[in-house]
Amino acid sequence: MRRFVALAGVVVVAILLQSTVFSGIKLLGAKPELLYIVTVLLAIIEGPREGMIFGFSAGMSQDFFLNQPKGVTALTLTLLAYTVGLVRTYIVSPSPILPTLLVAVGTFGAVCFYQVVRFLLGDLELHTVEFFRIALLTAIYNGLLTPIVYPSLRRVFEGSRPRRVVRF
């Protein structure tokens, strides 16, 4: 129960910050995607299974809260978490810069995927130069925010794990 409350609180805080504080702060027309950061970091810390469950739940929450096409963000975050979680299992020696790189690369791919899916649904007009510019700037923005967000999220994720009782 404690785990559910902690993760739900992270989703609510991320969506609220995204829709209020960070909606007005743009870097050359691009804004950060906080749920992408949180999903990638959870997949790094907990693995692909936990990341996928969190990504789907967070994506559906954002789609309903921000009145976006239902399921597109959930699909994007689910695939992002699974991919990053799998990549992380093959990295033997983690470095301090690894979360930042995984967030930046993952965000770039996820933003591209999200925009292509919305284009295929007829919900978005696609301009190639603008498309890659927004994806690249969002990836840079998320990469810059990662060192600030990572320590606190790691503490929340690791602190909310269920404790195993050892009985003799």
Q: Where are the domains of the chain?
A: 2-157
CB atoms within 10 A of CB 90: 6
In terms of CATH architecture, what is 2-157? Answer: Orthogonal Bundle (1.10)
pLDDT in tens, 36-93: 999 999 998 888 898 899 899 999 988 888 777 788 889 999 999 999 999 988 887 7
- Residue showing tokens 């950060």: 32
pLDDT in tens, 112-132: 998 888 888 887 776 777 788
Average pLDDT, the chain: 85
Residue 71 and residue 145: Cα distance in Å, rounded?
Answer: 26
Residue 122 neighbours by CB under 8 Å, 6+ apart: none
Helical packing angle, 34-46 and 128-159, nearest 10°: 50
- Residue showing tokens 């993760």: 7
> What separation in angstroms does the CA of 92 have from each of 28, 76, 87, 127?
36, 26, 10, 39
Instruction: Return the structure tokens found at 21.
Output: 């504080």
How big is the CA angle at 75 (ends 43 and 40), to the nearest 5 degrees? Answer: 20
Q: Give the pLDDT confidence score for residue 117 in this predicted structure.
A: 87
Q: Give the pLDDT confidence score for residue 84 in this predicted structure.
A: 92
> What separation in angstroms does the CA of 166 have from each of 1, 3, 125?
20, 20, 57
Which one-letter DSSP state was computed for residue 160? T
Residue 61 and residue 70: Cα distance in Å, rounded?
Answer: 9
Q: Longest C-alpha distance within the chain, in Å?
A: 64
Q: Give the pLDDT confidence score for residue 167 in this predicted structure.
A: 67
* Residue 57 near residue 71, CB atoms below 8 Å: no
